[in-house]
Amino acid sequence: MTMRNGGQLLVQSLVALGATRAFGVPGESYLAVLDALHDTQGQLDFVNCRNEGGAAFMAAAWGKLTGQPGICMVTRGPGVTNASIGVHTAMQDSAPMLLFVGQVGTDMIGREAFQEIDYRAVYGTMAKWAVEIDDADRIPEILSRAWTTATTGRPGPVVVALPEDMLTALTDSAPLTGPAPMREPAPDGATVGEVRAMLEASERPLILLGGCNWTPEGRAALQAFAEESDIPTIVAFRYQDRFDNFSPVYAGEAGVGMPPHVRRLITEADTILAINVRFGEMTTDGYTLMTVPVPKQRLIHVHGSDREIGKIYQPALGIHAGPNAFARALAPVKGAWAAWRSKARADWEAGFDLPQQPSPVDMGVVTAHLREVLPTDVILTNGAGNFTVWPNKFYKFGPGARLLAPQSGAMGYGLPAAVAACIAEPSRTVVCFAGDGDFQMNCQELATAAQYGARPIVLILNNGIYGTIRAHQERHYPTRVSGTDMVNPDFAALARAYGMHGERVAATADFPAAFARARESNTGAVLDLDISAEALTPRQTLSQMRAAALKAKPG
């Protein structure tokens, strides 16, 4: 009989489950866990972050990138409230994540002790599951359930509270020996036959896909089906890396700033095969492209969680199946929709034709250059803001490229996500797009990057404003600027202070050489791009927004 404390039992079980990194900020409420991590260096390593929000973003991005739960460890009270932004992001992204948080001792629970929070009450609607372990003997049981909950059905975050005295209590319970082998639910032959019949009866079929839990085999099977069936395919908000953009059937992303042709595809389709999609607000343009609750389009909704099917839209056929199992079961269909698919692809390609941007650094030219020089397995990350149109709408993702971007629209996600990606895939090029406001939400994580040898290239689109809010401001309250101007630091000097390469790029022509220097740096790099506030969107300037709003004002 081997005795160990709760912290040791937790860490040994995490190692057995396959966890290799834990992102966090240390706290006295889980010292027993930190002590146990001392013995797992090289197996399960603790990445010491600078803020719990950055740590939680790293864990959420890890889950999205790898398909395995991103692990985050924080202290009670302020620690976990800081980390809540990552929990919310992982939930909206449907990304697997485990947040372990220290808790007051079991003898103090319910007294509003120092930094006490009822985590099940606070996170019950934000996370997929919130639980507190009050008995060290039950750590393997509850951890196994938490891991399974985070990774199956619709993946998502699980919050696990760890009372301090429970972590120091001795137990003879054995650690887990590995994760439970799970198989995706698969459709039966009759169901697949129904799908084929519905598609073959269509004139304008459309495939819409999303989610982060695709395997390479599942993605390849779906692409083969779409291409052999010649059906146009679009992706949900910020999941354009889940389908090869160079495929002749790929037609774009349904997300913020939705192109008119994507909107038309959704509204004019007579049959939509939606796979692994939760029908968020952005993908449906505020739930306007399909009538709630019964859309006029014939909807086939496939999802690994039965709770997502019929949650918003009543499908003509709902199928409880995992995306990969469903894709592998499909066989090509034929129909007279070649012109429909051809126009969808042509419209997407036409969207890359841009006017010259009214800015010292023209992001249209910059993004075109990046399309030429970045490797096929690049990882792009971004937070939130108008600047995200460049990686999200003007980059072409091949089968090896990845995009880590938050469906929650959380500012500050891009840099922590880039750090996590560098740690997970140290041999790959990682490029973070950040606005000047977005970057400053978590710029301190440059220190984490430096400490752990992460070498992202950060492109700061510096226009001196909170661009998205200014756009809304000028459209609804033209000329009445309030709270959206910023005075920024010298970002290049800040990068150098953290030990990274940093430089200011003042003109479009200077970008290629500056980017080459950034790629050659062995420390990671920050390029501060001089962007005019006028260049707020690719096809409409700030002045044009204001003029249009003033013209439309009554009186």
pLDDT tens-place string over residues 400-432: 999 999 999 999 999 999 999 999 999 999 999
pLDDT band at 96 (very low <50, low <70, confident <90, very high): very high
Q: Are residues 98 and 158 in the same domain?
A: yes
Same-domain status, 212 and 66: no
Band of residue 310 on the pLDDT scale cut at 50, 70, 90? very high
Whether residues 81 and 117 share a domain: the answer is yes
pLDDT at 115: 82
Q: Give 489-504 pLDDT, tens digit per residue.
A: 999 999 999 999 999 9
- Whether 140 maps to a domain, the answer reads yes
Say yes or no to pLDDT of 1 above 90.
Answer: no
User: Is 180 inside any structural domain?
Assistant: no
- Do 329 and 391 lie in a common domain? no
* Interval 447-457 mean pLDDT: 98
Band the pLDDT of 2: cuts 50, 70, 90.
very high
Are 268 and 217 found together in one domain? yes
Written as one letter, the residue type at 414 is G
Answer yes or no: do 326 and 475 share one domain.
no
Q: Is the pLDDT of residue 313 over 90?
A: yes
Shared domain check, 327 and 277:
yes
Alpha helices (H) in 69-182, listed in sequence order:
78-93, 119-123, 139-151, 164-168
Q: What is the pLDDT of residue 108?
A: 87
Q: How many domains does the chain have?
A: 3
User: Cα separations (Å) of 364 from 352, 374, 397, 461, 531?
Assistant: 9, 15, 16, 12, 12
Strand partners, 462: 530
Are residue 503 and residue 539 in the same domain, yes or no? Answer: yes
Cα separation, 195 vs 208, in Å, equals: 14
Given this model, what pLDDT does residue 109 score? 86
Question: Does 391 lie in the same domain as 333?
Answer: no
pLDDT over 90 (residue 111): no
Dump pLDDT digits (tens) for 343-386. Answer: 999 999 999 999 999 999 999 999 999 999 999 999 999 999 99
Nearest to 304 by CA among 320, 324, 326: 320
What's the pLDDT band for 105 if we cut at 50, 70, 90?
Answer: confident
Q: Are residues 471 and 409 in the same domain?
A: yes
Residue where a domain terminates, one of 171, 200, 226? 171
The reported pLDDT for the residue numbered 106 is: 87
- CATH of residue 115: 3.40.50.970
Indicate if 91 and 37 belong to the same structural domain: yes
Q: What is the pLDDT of residues 460-471, one digit of tens each?
A: 999 999 999 999
CB atoms within 10 A of CB 89: 27
Instruction: Kindly state whether residues 122 and 241 are assigned to the same domain.
Output: no
Domain that holds residue 528: 363-552
- pLDDT tens-digit profile of 168-226? 999 999 999 999 999 999 999 999 999 999 999 999 999 999 999 999 999 999 999 99
Over pLDDT 90: what percentage of the chain? 96
User: Residue 207's domain is classified under what CATH number?
Assistant: 3.40.50.1220
- Between helix 260-268 and helix 338-350 the angle, nearest 10°, is 160
Question: Would residue 103 count as lying in a domain?
Answer: yes
Mean pLDDT across 149-163: 97
In this predicted structure, what is the pLDDT of residue 369?
98
